[in-house]
């Protein structure tokens, strides 16, 4: 039929264009062998190997290897979210985050466990699952226990000499050791000279001086300087109450409210329980 012929024609044309694009990839990376259709594409790719970051954010100074990455990053400051979910209307600052979100609606699970075949919508969930397979019982694998232990690679565990806690890398152990030694190698260079044990703590502290608040609540639009403060704030909207009193079972959204309750005369404090000494 005419429609069938037109369909074959479109398919053949697309296949031809694909072959032409492959033939046109004359610019090859000498480091990894990957080919590109233009010298500008190759130049942009080389920054992956050189770690060069020539483009920086005019607001916070953070550097990036590509200009498009700067444009995406700047939405942290502007709060712009140009990508909308057609199903629920939720907005996102990056197209990639929208694609990941849409799996909530489509049920797509592109990541699967190589041992038990279980599917996951997000890579982080697969990684968590794989870590749990070490305890065998948490992974419903259709293989013998001996086979499971044979397949799971043994992780190098770095042990803390002070408390015995284990870490997967020397860098994580080194960071943890500062909680025991009190070492604070990262100092604030802006004005106060305050020192911190971790670089991430220093970066969060600098926002006290700059006033930057890159973390935004999707529900009410309020901004925060730290991700942890945003997480606590969101309990206002979700109604989550993760802290409970072991005396009466009453639950609280924030630990400070639980402590106040446990110390008050009207709550579960010593005076309310009749335990105060005369």
Task: Tell me the per-residue pLDDT of 231-278, one tens digit each, with 9 for 90 and over.
Answer: 999 989 998 998 888 888 888 888 888 888 888 756 666 665 555 444
Give a yes or no: residue 117 inside a domain.
Answer: no
Task: Please report, for residues 106, 170, 243, the alpha-carbon distance to residue 259 in angstroms, rounded to integers and kept in the order given.
Answer: 43, 36, 10
Is 156 within a domain? no
**Domain for residue 65, yes or no?**
yes
Residue 116 burial class via C-beta count within 10 angstroms: exposed 0-12, middle 13-18, buried 19 and up: middle
pLDDT for residue 146: 42
Residue 228: name the closest of 212, 256, 246, 204 by CA: 204
pLDDT digits (tens, 9 = 90+) for 51-67: 778 888 888 888 887 78
Q: Which residue has the tokens 């220093």?
A: 202
Residue 268 sits at φ, ψ, to 5 deg, of -120, 30
pLDDT digits (tens, 9 = 90+) for 124-163: 888 877 776 444 333 434 444 344 344 444 455 678 888 8
Quote the domain boundaries for residue 54. Answer: 26-73
Cα–Cα dist 247/198, whole Å: 37
As a whole number of angstroms, the distance between CA 38 and CA 48 comes to 17
User: Which domain CATH number covers 31?
Assistant: 3.30.160.60
Contact of 56 with 73, CB cutoff 8 Å: no
Instruction: Examine residue 55 and state whether it is found in any structural domain, yes or no.
Output: yes
Query: What's residue 249's pLDDT?
Result: 83
Total domains in the fold of the chain: 1
Q: Would you tell me how many other CB atoms lie within 10 Å of the CB of residue 145?
A: 10
Is residue 220 very low, low, confident or very high in pLDDT (cuts 50, 70, 90)? very high
Asked whether residue 50 is assigned to any structural domain, the reply reads yes
Is 217 inside a domain boundary? no
In a domain, 90, yes or no: no
CA distances from 94 to 7, 56, 85, 104 (A): 34, 18, 12, 17
């Amino acid at each position: 039929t005419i429609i069938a012929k037109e369909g074959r024609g479109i398919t053949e044309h697309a296949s031809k264009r694909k072959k032409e694009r492959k033939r046109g990839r004359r610019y090859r990376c000498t480091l990894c062998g990957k080919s590109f259709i233009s010298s500008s594409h190759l130049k942009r790719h080389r920054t992956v190997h050189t770690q060069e970051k020539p483009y920086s954010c005019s607001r916070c100074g953070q550097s990036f290897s590509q200009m498009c990455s700067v444009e995406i990053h700047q939405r942290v400051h502007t709060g712009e979210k140009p990508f909308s979910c057609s199903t629920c209307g939720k907005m996102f600052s990056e197209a990639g985050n929208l694609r990941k979100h849409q799996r909530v609606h489509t049920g797509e699970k592109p990541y699967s466990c190589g041992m038990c075949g279980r599917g996951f919508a997000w890579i982080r969930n697969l990684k968590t699952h794989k870590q749990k397979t070490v305890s065998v019982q948490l992974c419903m694998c259709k293989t013998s226990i001996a086979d499971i232990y044979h397949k799971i690679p043994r992780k190098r565990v770095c042990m803390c000499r002070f408390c015995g806690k284990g870490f997967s890398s020397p860098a994580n152990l080194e960071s943890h050791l500062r909680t025991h030694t009190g070492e604070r190698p990262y100092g604030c260079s802006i004005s106060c000279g305050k020192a911190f044990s971790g670089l991430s703590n220093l970066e969060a502290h600098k926002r006290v001086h700059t006033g930057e608040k890159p973390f935004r609540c999707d529900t009410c639009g309020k901004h925060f300087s730290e991700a942890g403060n945003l997480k606590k704030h969101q309990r206002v909207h979700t109604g989550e109450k993760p802290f409970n009193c072991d005396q009466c079972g009453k639950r609280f959204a924030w630990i400070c409210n639980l402590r106040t309750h446990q110390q008050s005369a009207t709550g579960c404090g010593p005076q309310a329980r009749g335990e105060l000494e005369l």
